[in-house]
Amino acid sequence: MTNTNQILTPGTIGRRRAAIIPEQPPQLWKSVKPKKAYDIVIVGGGGHGLATAYYLAKNHGLTNIAVVEKGWLAGGNAARNTTIIRSNYLWDESASIYEHSLKLWETLEEDLGYEMFFSQRGVLTLAHSVSDVRSKRRNLYANALNGIDSEWLTPQEVKKLVPIINISEDVRYPVHGATYQPRGGIAKHDWVAWGYAKAASDLGVDIIQGTEVTGFDIRNNKVQGVHTSQGTIATGKVGLVAAGHSSILANLAGFSIPIQSRPLQALVSPLLEQVLNTVVMSGAVHVYVSQAHKGELVMGAGTDAFNSYAQRGGFHVVEHQLAAALELFPIFSRAQVLRTWGGIVDIAPDASPIIGLTPVENLFINAGWGTGGFKATPGSGWVMAHTMANGTPHKLNKPFALDRFATGHLIDEHGAAGVAH
Amino acid sequence: MLYIPCPYCGLRNETEFHYGAEAGVGYPDPNTLTDDEWAKYIHIRANPKGWLAERWVHFAGCSRWFNLWRNTVTHEIGPAYLPFTEQPKAPSNIGQEEQKA
């Protein structure tokens, strides 16, 4: 009993664990007013937009760049995701881009000179039925062919890794095994965005917050500038990196993209003693959970069924997810929900991103990361920067072109990987 | 949890329904379309910030499809109507933007 009581007294845990999180300097990036003109304007100051600006500056020597953000920096999905990082995707195209991203994660803190609490604590993806086991093992072989670390664990091995998990057969979704990617893990999401912002700002990129893009100056099908709430900014190239608002921006530029915007919810518990030192995901029961550095359990739910821009979802979605989580982790019944929230995710028909050229010349798009974009932040920025600097896609994002919906070369991770990303 | 007015069964919980995205997308003649036009029909649906006329099916009730105006910013529910009938006007759009995004 005393042990259980200790687990549920967050006050002392919070004070103890807060000490491991270093203080931030008073200012990480310069706050600036927009200039009249830039070589490149990035629309969207989330992780992906900031990473794009950073790699444009670092890899391609282009620094006359503005990142224009409607709200505050990294206040959208960059602050709302569940921070899971992995690369064990089924299809070659996805595995290649996510693995490129994971490799960048592995040296990112050194590269940016900024701590992000990147922690390769491993990611478990549970299988709950015979067909689940088959598809997960198929995934495993595909990963092996792509040189991605991933292994099969029996229920007993899962239990050894995660002692609090219930592997009883007498539950609605029994654990029949799991794939495990040891190099997967988590990072502190807002710090990732701040790290990119600081590094980009240090290289001369202007970060402009509180400025909404209201339209585009397009002449002869070529982008010449962006209209914003702070006036028009002339520019030679524009990158749309706006997640849930991508279809609104595409429409302002005169073309349509196959994106539906949906709420995706997540929640945290108060600070608890460490009970979980790996990431556990289950596509079948719509739950993914990890324990953050300070001790809070971070859990993600499924998307709400309908289109929305409200950054909130229905409580029944959270309830459904918690029911599954409690069955897998009975000990969680003693914890409380501290906070739930929603973000607006941009979902493409094949649940894969759209990165590349658009029908408008010099206007580029990076959207459709849907429910799983956080892990891709470095790789996404890297290939987007390459695409914008050269005017042609990097080999890693070539398959993710907007025209795949007309050619039929879809990258169907939805059907292949289940809903959870 | 939304409360959705099924035109056949009345007001019910959202969990009794499945979602069907944009309403009123007609089935085109595939023989007359280019690949781009076909892709547009298959993959592109309205995704506005504001009022959206959309399809729902009351799977746990009458199992029938119907259309509904709903606001994607406030989650307000507008009028429901049957497919192939005249579409009621969109509810007032005060404070909303980009009707047809």
For residue B36, the chain A residues in CB contact (below 8 A) are: 406
Residues of chain A with pLDDT under 50: 1-8, 417-419
* pLDDT value of residue A16: 59
What is the rounded CA–CA span in Å between residue A182 and residue A185?
8
Among A248, A310, A315, the residue with its CB nearest the CB of B75 is A310
Range B28-49 average pLDDT: 95
The confidence band for B41, taking pLDDT boundaries of 50, 70 and 90, is: very high
Which 8-state DSSP code applies to residue A169?
S
pLDDT tens, position by position, A293-336: 889 999 998 899 999 999 999 999 999 899 989 999 999 999 99
Residues 6+ apart with CB under 8 A from A413: A89, A90, A91, A94, A350, A351, A352, A421
In terms of phi and psi (left: phi > 0; alpha: psi -120 to 50; beta: otherwise), the region of A321 is alpha
Determine the Cα–Cα distance for residues A355 and A369; give it in Å rounded to an integer. Answer: 9
What's residue A314's pLDDT?
93
- Got the DSSP string for A283-313? TTTTEEEEE-TTSEEEEEEEE-SS---SS--
The SS3 assignment for B43 reads helix
Spatial contact of A353 and A400, defined as CB atoms under 8 Å apart: yes
How large is the angle between the packed helices A130-145 and A92-112, nearest 10 degrees? Answer: 60
Q: Does B100 touch chain A (CB under 8 A)?
A: yes
Mean of the per-residue pLDDT values of chain B? 91
Identify how many contiguous H helices and E strands chain B contains and give both numbers: 1, 6
The backbone region for A275, taken as left when phi is positive above 0, alpha when psi lies in -120 to 50, beta otherwise, is alpha
Give the chain B residue nearest A258 (alpha carbons): B44
Q: What is the mean pLDDT of residues B59-63?
A: 97
For residue A228, what are the β-bridge partners? A213, A231
- Using the predicted structure, report yes or no on whether residue B95 has a pLDDT greater than 50: no
Q: Among residues of chain B, what percentage have pLDDT more than 90? A: 86
A209: closest CA among A45, A3, A96, A414?
A: A45
Q: What is the pTM of this model?
A: 0.93
Tokens of A362: 């010099």
pLDDT score for A13: 57
Distances (CA, A) of A73 to A66, A102, A171, A243, B35: 13, 23, 43, 14, 39
Of the candidates A328, A318, A68, A7, the residue with the CA atom closest to the CA atom of residue A178: A328
Tell me what ipTM this predicted complex has.
0.92
pLDDT of B99 reads 46
- CA–CA distance, A111 with A125 (Å, rounded to integer): 30
Give the pLDDT confidence score for residue B39 in this predicted structure.
Answer: 95
Question: How confident is residue B93, by pLDDT bands cut at 50, 70 and 90?
Answer: low
| CB nearest to A406's CB, from B17, B36, B100 | B36
Alpha helices in B4-73 (DSSP H): 35-43
Coil/strand/helix, residue A71 = coil
The CATH superfamily holding the domain B3-100 is Folate-binding superfamily (3.30.2270.10)
Best CA proximity match to A194, nearest among A113, A294, A86, A102: A113
Q: Which residues from chain A sit within 8 angstroms of residue B54, using beta carbons?
A: 306-307
Q: Find, among A131, A130, A37, A118, the residue nearest to A84 by Cα.
A: A118
CB contact under 8 A, B2 and A316: no
For chain A, which residues lie within 8 Å of any Cβ of chain B, measuring from their own Cβ?
Answer: 245, 247-248, 251, 256-261, 305-310, 314-316, 349, 405-407
Bridge partner residues of A219 (DSSP): A222
pLDDT of residue A418: 46
CB of B16 within 8 A of CB of B61? Answer: yes
The pLDDT tens digits for A334-349 are 999 999 999 999 999 9
Instruction: Provide, as residue numbers in chain A, all residues whose Cβ is less than 8 Å from the Cβ of B100.
Output: 251
CB contact under 8 A, B18 and A315: no
How many CB atoms within 10 Å of residue A419? 16
Tokens 């444009």: give the residue. Answer: A56
Q: What is the pLDDT of residue A300?
A: 93
How far is residue B81's CA from residue B64's CA, in Å, rounded to a whole number?
12
Residue A121, burial from CB neighbour count under 10 angstroms (0-12, 13-18, 19+)? middle
Q: Is the Cβ pair A310, B36 closer than 8 Å?
A: no
The residues spanned by each domain of chain B are 3-100
Name the residue among A258, A306, A308 with its Cβ closest to that of B43.
Answer: A258
Cβ–Cβ below 8 Å for A349 and B100? no
Over residues A221-252, the pLDDT tens digits come to 999 999 999 999 999 999 999 999 999 999 99
